[in-house]
Amino acid sequence: MNQKEFSLAADLHASSLHSHAKQFTRDEDEAKDLVQDTLLKGIRFCHNFESGTNVKGWLYVIMRNTFLNDYRKKQKRDLLVNTEEDISSAQLLPSASKNGSENSFIMGDIQKALSSLDDDCRIPFQRYFEGYKYQEIADELSIPLGTVKTRIHQARLELKKFLRTYKDRGGMH
């Protein structure tokens, strides 16, 4: 099934998907975004769809996985945000003066480190960092699950080597 055919078949299920999306998100706008993401992923990966199987069911699985991945990413992001209320400007002043320029150098070095990785390792690592599961990455890249795990592990090792300077001086934790 080509993308155009799949798109036409998927459009028939958009309203049903929207109902499921509202059950997941409990918000109209988020439900619309989830349906849109689901349809885009469905069209993007329609070559993985087995003709003769249930389009609606396949799209529902994509929707559920997208919702769960987004939920996990949000949880990770929320854990990183410091929510202490007793932080005052006096406590932040010493670090604020140096953080701006230092952080831009650190971010630049992180980008260089990522760019230095071969695509074979960088792409699976980035997908994993974005919240995708190993199996989803394997399916997307059409490579074995063990290969995904190995490449992510190799990427971590290379990034640790590249960014060791920051660890040694206590700049990154």
**What CA–CA distance (Å, rounded) separates 21 from 32?**
8
pLDDT score, position 59: 92
pLDDT score, position 82: 47
**What CA–CA distance (Å, rounded) separates 29 from 32?**
5
The CATH number of domain 101-173 is 1.10.357.10 = no
pLDDT reading at 27 higher than 70: yes
pLDDT reading at 85 higher than 80: no
Burial of 123 (0-12, 13-18, 19+ CB in 10 A): middle
Global pTM value = 0.46
Buried b / exposed e over 60-86, threshold 16 CB at 10 Å, is bebbebbbebbeeeeeeeeeeeeeeee
Give ranges for CATH 1.10.10.10 in the chain: 101-173
The CATH number of domain 1-77 is 1.25.40.80 = no
Give ranges for CATH 1.10.1740.10 in the chain: 1-77
Kindly report which listed range (15-19, 128-132, 167-171) carries the lowest average pLDDT score: 167-171
The residue with tokens 């760019």 is 115
**What are the CA-CA distances from residue 166 to residues 19, 27, 70, 172 (Å)?**
48, 42, 30, 5
pLDDT reading at 164 higher than 80: no
**What CA–CA distance (Å, rounded) separates 152 from 49?**
26
pLDDT reading at 84 higher than 50: no
